[in-house]
Amino acid sequence: MNITLSNLLFNFNLIVIRVVNILNYLFVKKELLSKTILINTQYFQRNSIIEAIFGNYLKHNGKKVYGLVCAGYKYCEMHKMNSEIPNCNACRQKTFKLLDAAKIEAIDLEDFKNISEDLNNKKFNFKSLKNSKHSETEFPLGETAYWNWLHYSNGDILPEDNKENNNTLKNIYETTCGSHDSINAVIKKYKPDFMVTCHGKFAQTRPAFFLREIHNYDCLTWENFAMDSSFVWLKNALAMDQNINKYWPTISNSKLSKIDYKKVDKYFEDQKTGVNQKWTFLDKITMVDKNDIYEKTNLNKDKPIISIFPPIAWDSTGCSHTLEDLNFFEVINFLVNKCIEYKNVQFVVRSHPAELNVPDYLRSSRSIVDTLIKVNKEIPSNVFFLHADSEISSHALSAISNEVIFFSSTLGLEVLNSKRKVNCIGVQAYYSQKGFTNDILTKKQLLDLFENLEKLSLSKDSNYKYECIDDRQLKYVKTLTFYIRFKLHSFIGILKRGILLLTLFRYISYLQYMKNLSDYLLGKRLPFDL
């Protein structure tokens, strides 16, 4: 029944695309004839539909547009350990049909497959492949394969080296290498001015983004944020990360209206109640009283507290966090082991609620906390763990902590809005590097937090006051939030919940949106004006 419905929706979308193609032929002006654009349509059909309607506009706008069709690999990004392997041939044929409906010339990546030298003499285990890079381009094959493993396994951070896991890793690695080699070969042949790809972090999309500097083209990445069906498009940056550092000098001093500030304030209020979240965790997180928290956790009121809020291991925004040579889990484990040197400082690891409180197919296969306990025979007495199902509010935990550490959690932005300065690991967080966060780029900087609080504790100073941001910095926080949430996120007029709906109004809205997006691609517009 579901398959039948899916096919009906797909065929309906094909009809709409064909109608849009006719309308675009009639109404889209040919403005630029000399640009070649490759669209990496090899992820899955919902995404390919978006790329098809954009590609069709670009074609009628006068550009040379080609769509890349997946070659068919042993591993697919749509495949997870708790789901069936997708029908590869059926998926490929649907992509061909989409491109045909959009009158976009298809490039079959299967025609560019080869047996890469980088697959020879490899021992497929997780340790040996960690730092593996492509011999020609230095593309991070091992790192990308590991990120895909986290995605496939729902966050199995430290997998066992056994035959089954190693075979899966081999398939992922071969796919990563094959995807890189085929995309690289296509780029060499067609010499694009632009590449369009969704996501940009995993095996079938990361090469398109990575190779841009080697082959001198601009890469437009995009992401559909399911909580409100909004889209983010960023050129030469990863849309998933919502990193707008390039534009920050331009927008940081823009003046928001009273209405804009009200929007921001309402957004933060809604975040606290779960309005903006696809899955709310508030039904299980109720403890906000400080005394109750101290009693529940056995934390000492008289000793300083550092709390860290890890990302979800299987989520692409989390898997790419690093500090020097450590991934996000290794960073946390590094601190757990270091805590024995700072006996007067209490360190709290608070697992993300989404490890558990999500649909079954997204539940983490291994909890961050459980993994930490497994790899450490003895946990220092000043280390405290809060599991994903803890009833203690993360906001309340932040309030009693002297230092809070984030990787990229939206909670970090919410804490900033309370005029509290936060610590950001690395440069991944979209609110870091703006002058209102403490950006931690080295292990030493991380340990300095513990060192400073240890000294304060030994000095018998009971006033462990956390650092605040001033009114000017708070203005920047609100400005950033406004531009990220209300300007960067945009909506395609013709699209609603994965279904193409066509009316005169929707077509006019779509036409303007595509015109704006094309202008942004060509450097005539900012990504906030779509």
Q: Report which of 156, 70, 77, 142 is spatially closest to residue 107, judged by C-alpha positions.
A: 70
pLDDT digits (tens, 9 = 90+) for 161-189: 888 888 888 889 999 999 999 999 999 99
Q: Residue range 191-219: average pLDDT?
A: 96
Please tell me whether the overall predicted TM-score, pTM, comes out greater than 0.85 for this model: yes
- Mean pLDDT value across residues 302-313: 93
Sheet containing 346-350: order of strands: 383-386, 346-350, 305-309, 403-406, 423-425, 438-440
Give the model's pLDDT for residue 277.
Answer: 57
**CATH code of 321's domain:** 3.40.50.2000
Q: Is residue 297 part of a domain?
A: yes
End-to-end Cα spacing for the chain:
38
Neighbours of 138 (CB within 10 A): 10
Decide if 209 contacts 240 (C-beta within 8 A).
no
Which helix (H) or strand (E) element contains residue 26?
Answer: helix 2-27
| 281 has pLDDT over 90 | no
Where do the H-state alpha helices sit in 360-420? Answer: 368-375, 394-400, 410-417
283 found inside a domain? yes
Band (pLDDT 50/70/90 cuts) for residue 283 is very low
Asked whether residue 482 falls in the same domain as residue 501, the answer is no
Tokens read off for 229: 């069906």
- Alpha-carbon distance 366 to 158, whole Å? 9
Same domain as 99, residue 40: yes
Over residues 392-413, the mean pLDDT reads 91
For 457-501, the pLDDT digits (tens) are: 877 655 656 789 999 999 999 999 999 999 999 999 898 877 899
Q: How high is the mean pLDDT of the chain?
A: 89
What is the rounded distance in angstroms from the CA atom of residue 314 to the CA atom of residue 145? Answer: 13
Summarize the confidence of residues 191-195 as an average pLDDT: 97
Residue at 67 is within a domain:
yes
The pLDDT score that the predictor gives to residue 106 is 97
Q: How far apart are alpha carbons 336 and 384 in whole angstroms?
A: 9
Contact 271, 228 (CB under 8 A): no
Query: Which residue would you say has higher pLDDT here, 428 or 338?
Result: 338
- Could you tell me the CA-to-CA distances from 451 to 47, 211, 375 in Å, in that order? 48, 42, 25
The pLDDT of 306-318, averaged and rounded, is: 89
Tell whether 417 and 277 lie within a shared domain. Answer: yes
Cβ pair 187, 132 in contact under 8 A: no
Q: Which CATH number fits the domain that encloses residue 45?
A: 3.40.50
Mean pLDDT of 431-455: 95
Please check whether residue 123 lies inside any domain of the structure. no
Q: Which domain holds residue 441?
A: 258-486
State how far the Cα of 47 lies from the Cα of 36, in Å rounded to an integer: 21
Least confident of 267-271, 346-350, 405-409: 267-271
Position 130, amino acid: K
Q: Which region among 80-84, 278-282, 517-521, 524-528 has the lowest average model confidence (pLDDT)?
A: 278-282
Residue 423 φ/ψ, nearest 5 degrees: -100, 130
Does any domain span residue 374?
Answer: yes
Residue 249, domain member (yes or no):
no
Nearest to 14 by CA among 106, 90, 105, 100: 100
| List of residues 6+ apart from 316 with CB closer than 8 A | 147, 151, 199, 201, 202, 240
Instruction: Dump pLDDT digits (tens) for 85-111.
Output: 788 898 899 999 999 999 999 999 999
pLDDT band for 302, please (50, 70, 90 cuts): confident
Regarding whether 500 and 478 lie in a shared domain, the answer is no
Position 84, amino acid = E
Element (H, E) at 10: helix 2-27
Is the same domain home to 199 and 265?
no
Same domain, yes or no, for 285 and 419? yes
**Cα separation of 212 and 203, whole Å?**
16
Residue 80 has pLDDT above 90, yes or no: no
What length does the chain have? 530
* pLDDT tens profile 206-256: 999 999 999 999 999 999 886 567 899 999 999 999 989 999 999 998 999
* Per-residue pLDDT, 278: 55
Residues 286 and 222 in one domain: no
In a domain, 32, yes or no: yes
Which two tokens mark 26?
Answer: 């009639």
Determine the Cα–Cα distance for residues 338 and 316; give it in Å rounded to an integer. Answer: 28
Whether residues 308 and 452 share a domain: the answer is: yes
Give kind and range of the element (H or E) at residue 295: helix 290-297
The residue with greater pLDDT, 496 or 524, is 524
Query: Residue 225 has what pLDDT?
Result: 80
- For helices 328-338 and 368-375, the axis angle rounded to 10 degrees is 50
Res. 447: pLDDT tops 70: yes
Rounded Cα distance between 451 and 167, Å, is: 44
Q: What percent of the chain has pLDDT over 70?
A: 92
Q: Are residues 500 and 481 located together in one domain of the fold?
A: no
Pairing of strands 105-108, 36-39: unpaired
Same domain, 514 and 466: no
Q: Which residue has the higher pLDDT, 190 or 280?
A: 190
DSSP 247: G
Total domains, the chain: 2
Same domain, 320 and 363: yes
In a domain, 294, yes or no: yes
Q: Are 291 and 334 in contact (CB under 8 A)?
A: no
List the one residue out of 80, 159, 141, 129 whose CA is nearest residue 329.
159
How many CB atoms within 10 Å of residue 420? 17
Residue 526 and residue 247 in contact, taking contact as beta carbons nearer than 8 Å: yes
438 CB burial (10 A radius; 0-12, 13-18, 19+): middle
Ordered DSSP codes for 197-265: EE--SSTTTHHHHHTHHHHT-EEEEEEEETTTTEEEEEETS-GGGT--GGGHHHHTTPPPPHHHHHHHH
Q: Count CA atoms closer than 13 A to 426's CA, side-chain side.
A: 21
pLDDT, residue 1, reads 44
| 123 confidence band (pLDDT: 50, 70, 90) | low
Strand partners, 383: 347
Instruction: Based on the fold, state whether residues 270 and 314 are members of the same structural domain.
Output: yes
What was the pLDDT predicted at 319? 80
- In tens, the pLDDT along 319-362 reads 888 899 898 999 999 999 999 999 999 999 999 888 887 777 77
Which residue in 14, 22, 10, 7 sits closest to 507, CA to CA? 22
Asked if 182 contacts 136 with a C-beta cutoff of 8 angstroms, the reply is: no
